[in-house]
């Protein structure tokens, strides 16, 4: 079993508990769709139980992107790093529509928590904005200068209306900020081929296929990308608690990614991006 960094986790803590209280039917539906199980911690919402499942899956570190939509406070999420030192890295949620206060918040968390990245969800917050909306450009510029990764969640699931123009919007950001380290959670599905092309053209674009890299439509494309063009830019993510971290780790251990590529996919690429090595 390979050592792992899980780049997309929403653990049972704080307002993320809402997911465990309201989405059990969703967990069961996806477990059935992908022939997986609903883990004990998914059912119970017990944080200690989840950390035990991380150990079972060989996950040494979990990256926790904030999510404003659920009312998740950054201070509350930061508690995870103190509760389980060395097991969680929190990417605080930053809303660029807040103007200079958003930039000040990045400085605050950098100075007081040594953050290793931040999270945004442009299409999935109360006041949505396009990826390439000028309101977000000061944040992109700041992160580019600081060398901090930006984690975005991007898939059709996050859009109220399926909108392929989001591909152009994201591509514009990649063009305008060529040194910005951009991590695409949910793999950009179903526009994953376009996102793969962006990553091929820019070594600073990373892809976390998570649930969309499974044996569903388009899943094989992520495996092929990991084996060839994007060996250093694909990252493992479980999408927990949507799916079991243990089952996701087992799936990716055996999904067809080359043995020579798996150490990078599971750990090395993420460790480099997080500046752990």
List, for residues 79-108, the tens digit of each pLDDT value.
999 999 999 999 999 999 999 999 999 999
> Beta-carbon neighbour count of residue 62 at 10 Å?
26
Residue 111 belongs to domain with CATH number: 3.20.20.140
List, for residues 150-168, the tens digit of each pLDDT value.
999 998 877 777 788 999 9
Domain total for the chain?
A: 1
Instruction: Supply the pTM of this predicted model.
Output: 0.95
Structural domain for 12, as ranges = 4-273
Strands 59-65 and 4-6: parallel
22 sits in which H/E element: helix 17-22
- Judged by DSSP in three states, 120 sits in strand
CA distance 262 to 236: 9
- Judged by DSSP in three states, 58 sits in coil
The answer on pLDDT for 277 being more than 90 is no
- Judged by DSSP in three states, 92 sits in coil
The pLDDT assigned to 35 comes to 94
List, for residues 11-30, the tens digit of each pLDDT value.
999 888 989 999 999 999 99
């Amino acid at each position: 079993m390979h050592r792992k960094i899980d780049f997309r986790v929403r653990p049972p803590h704080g307002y993320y508990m809402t997911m465990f209280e309201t989405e059990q039917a969703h967990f069961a539906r996806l477990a059935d769709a992908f022939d997986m199980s609903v883990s004990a911690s998914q059912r119970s919402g017990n944080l200690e139980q989840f950390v035990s499942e991380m150990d079972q899956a060989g996950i040494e570190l979990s990256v926790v992107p904030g999510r404003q939509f659920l009312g998740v406070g950054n201070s509350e999420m930061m508690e995870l790093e103190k509760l389980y030192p060395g097991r969680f890295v929190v990417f605080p949620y930053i809303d660029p529509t807040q103007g200079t206060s958003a930039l000040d918040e990045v400085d605050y968390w950098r100075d007081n928590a040594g953050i290793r990245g931040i999270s945004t969800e442009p299409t999935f917050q109360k006041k949505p904005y396009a990826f390439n909306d000028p309101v977000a450009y000061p944040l992109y510029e700041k992160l580019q200068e600081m060398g901090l990764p930006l984690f975005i969640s991007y898939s059709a699931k996050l859009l109220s209306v399926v909108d392929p123009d989001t591909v152009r919007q994201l591509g514009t950001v990649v063009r305008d900020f060529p040194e910005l380290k951009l991590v695409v959670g949910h793999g950009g599905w179903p526009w994953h081929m376009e996102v793969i092309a962006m990553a091929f053209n820019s070594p600073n674009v990373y892809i976390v296929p998570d649930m969309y890299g499974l044996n569903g439509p388009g899943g094989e494309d992520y495996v092929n990308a990991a084996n060839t063009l994007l060996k250093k830019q694909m990252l493992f993510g479980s999408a927990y608690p949507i799916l079991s971290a243990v089952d996701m780790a087992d799936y990716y251990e055996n999904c067809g990614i080359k043995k020579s590529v798996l150490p990078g996919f599971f750990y090395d690429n993420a460790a480099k991006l997080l500046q752990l090595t």
